[in-house]
Each structure stands twice: as C-alpha cells, then as structure tokens.
Amino acid sequence: MKLPEVLAPAGDLEKLRTAYMYGADACYMGMKSVSMRVKGSTLDIDEIEEALKISREMGKKLYLTMNIHAHENKLNFLDKEIDRLKELKKRGLIPDGLLISDAGVFMAVHEACPWVDIHISTQANTLNSAAVEFWAKQGVTRVVFGREVSLREIKQIREKLEKKKIKVELEAFVHGAMCMAYSGRCLLSNFMSNRDANEGMCAHSCRWDYKTYYLEEGKREGEYLPVYEDEEGTSIMSSKDMCMVEHLADIIDSGIDSAKIEGRHKTLFYTAIASRIYRQAMDLAAKGKGPTPEILDLAETINTRGYFTGFWYGKPGAEGQKYTGDKGDYNSKYCFAGIIRKVEGGVAEMEVKNTLKAGDHLDIITPTKNIPLVLGEFSNALNDQAIQEAHAGQQFSIRFKVPKTVQVGFVVRKHL
C-alpha cells in the first residue's frame, strides 16, 4: 500500500526544520514576489538554498510556490525568479517541484527551466479528469485539486486517468483554512482593503466581524437572510477549517499522492502539531486503525474556527459555516507556551510565547508523544534570576528542569 506523502507548510526555515522533525515527508515554501503568501513567508535565494540543503540532509522533499495570478508588471519579477532557479541549478540544488497556477507563468518557467518538475496549484481550479489530462500533456508532473473536489470525484478522476495511461501525481488538501471564494479566487479583499488575494496579499476580509442583523437582496423585498450575531459580532462569510485526520483511510483509498496541510502564515506551534497528527494518523490508517485520543486532542490544541470535512463527502451545508463571531477561534483548553531553544544537563531554555507561572501544567510535545510536567522553579535565562511569572516578549526565555529526552526545537503547550 502506497501512502500519500504528508505535505506541510513552511513559512520560514525554522518552520521547515520543525515540520520535518515532526513527521512531514515534504514541505512547500514561497518564492519572493510570485507566491500566494507574500507577507512574511517568502524566501530570498540564500534562504531557498539553505532550505534545499536542509531538505536533502534530512531526506525530505521541498516544493516552491510561484502561484500568483500575474498582472503584466509581475512578469519582470518572474524573470528574476527564473534567474534564481538557474543559479540554484548551478549550485546543484533543484527543488522537487514548482507550484504554478497562471498559464503564462507556467509557459515561461517550463520553457526556461525544463529540468524542474511543475505542479499545478489549487489556484488553477482543477476539478475534473479532462483538466488533469490537459496539464499532464503540457508536461506537468502533479496537479493539486481545488478544494471543491469530492472523494467520489477524485476516485473517478484517478480511474479515468489510469484507463488512458496518463501518469500524473494528484494532490489534495486535508487540513486547514477554507476560502469562501472559488478555490481561493477572491475579489473581496481587493474591494475592501486594496490588497489582491490573487497576488498573495489577502486581507482575509471574509473573516472580519460584520455588525448587522440581516441581509436583503434588492429584488427579493421582505425575504431576509438572518445573520446570527453575539457580543463579538458575526462572520457570515467565514468557513470552518477543514480537518480530515479522522478519515485518512478514505484519503489513502482515494489514490492521491500527497495529503496537503494549509498554513504557511500560521505559527511554528501549528506547523509542529499539524505535521505530527497527520504523520501519526496516516501511519495508523495504513494499519487499519483510527487516530488515538491523544492525536484528536492535539488537533483541538491548535487555534481553529471549528472543524468540518470540507467538500470531501459532498457539498457542505450549514455545518461548514461559522456564524458566531470569534467564538471557537481560540481553544479554551490549551495555549502555546513556548519553544525549547537549548537543553543542557537536564535544564531547558525555553522561549516564552504566553504568560507562565509557577505551578502551571505543561505538555512538551515531542514528534511521537506528550511529556506532561508541572512548572516548578524557573529563572530568567538572561541572568539566571529566579522568577515566579514570565510574560511573552521578544525572545524572552526561561530555564527550568526537564526530562533528559527533551530536545531542542520541541514545542510546549500550557493547560488553561
């Protein structure tokens, strides 16, 4: 049985290392100026070189994104990115794939860099076997489905491709944020904040709080669409997050080659936990087992707008919509406590991400298990002065005793 790779997001080099450490088979990162996540999650050529070296050393794969829908002025930036790819090739570093959605970008890159595999991004809205066949005939090696494709449709597409002996890899999202626009093609951000979602600058306008009570369409006078509102507002255009961790047996059965986790802009804590739960749950599903209670608890640890299964089992109804303000955006059981930065002689140095006090219950999240502990005496790592409370600050760190199995890079959560 061939398992789909677990494909994790990596917004920077630290998240890349973390995703690999916590079980991801592959990661995807953005190239500067031509990526769908421009702000804070794109790399220059030296960082890309380092990322590729890390991937090779760890025996993992790395895909780079060039998936904007490019206006004419962006073609100048594209030329620069193509030059970067050629420079990387001279250094013996070729990414395992480039994610592209724009036909013009595809043509330019495919002609200039025929030695690199091209993956068609979800932004290209590929929903059927004919579209997959078209891209395969252009030399594409992988197609990422739009989030609207169902499990039944993926199986049908795979069967048709096999009958025609068309060899192309298939990738689909299994976890993360959903977009209310068609496969992410949204104009709302443009209208409301002059930030083009299709060029990597989405303002997430669909998730803002809108103070209103009903909607009335102009030609349907008297027909009111209720907008449920609490004290925090409402999010009438905000979808819940996709989570397929309990359904990975179906994902394996679908025949896809890559199970993708969304979230290059999200925290290192998210990267670590999402990578771990899908690695462990995928391995269990291969043995005919479901995820453990610990895995499901971890899935609830990361901030979410609530979970549903997206379009995998058909078009979602009200169960996929988030109607109530910020309720559910942050879990009430745990928060991100910190990251282990140094371990020596049974004492760890941890960068603090939320307020900590003596007596707090913590879990050190390793790639395979949780290590519970009660935070006893701890000190300011800067001067070793004993303190009773620590607040998150710019790289503020504390020292405290930990089990010897704890390693640098582990993330820690706090029980609320």
Q: Per CATH, is 5-180+238-318 categorized as 3.20.20.70?
A: yes
* pLDDT at position 57: 97
Please determine, for residue 241, whether its predicted confidence score (pLDDT) is greater than 70: yes
Mean pLDDT of 191-205: 66
Please determine, for residue 30, whether its predicted confidence score (pLDDT) is greater than 50: yes
241 vs 329 pLDDT, higher one: 241
Mean pLDDT of 104-119: 97
Mean of the per-residue pLDDT values for the chain?
A: 88
Q: Which of 121-130, 150-159, 293-302, 308-317 has the lowest mean pLDDT?
A: 308-317
The pTM for the full model equals: 0.87
Please determine, for residue 53, whether its predicted confidence score (pLDDT) is greater than 80: yes
Burial class (CB in 10 A: 0-12, 13-18, 19+), 160: middle
Burial class (CB in 10 A: 0-12, 13-18, 19+), 376: exposed
Task: Give residues with Cβ within 8 angstroms of 107, minimum separation 6.
Answer: none
Domain ranges for the chain, please list them.
Answer: 5-180+238-318, 334-415
Rg value, the chain, Cα: 22
Superfamily of domain 334-415: Translation factors (2.40.30.10)
Q: What is the DSSP letter of 218?
A: T
140 vs 11 pLDDT, higher one: 140
Mean pLDDT of 82-100: 95
* pLDDT at position 321: 59
Please determine, for residue 318, whether its predicted confidence score (pLDDT) is greater than 70: no
Mean pLDDT of 120-131: 94
Please determine, for residue 131, whether its predicted confidence score (pLDDT) is greater than 70: yes
Output the six-digit token pair for 400: 């405290």
pLDDT per residue as tens digits for the range 270-291: 999 999 999 999 999 999 999 9
pLDDT per residue as tens digits for the range 381-394: 999 999 999 999 88
Q: How confident is the model at residue 397 (pLDDT cuts 50, 70, 90)?
A: very high
* pLDDT at position 233: 47
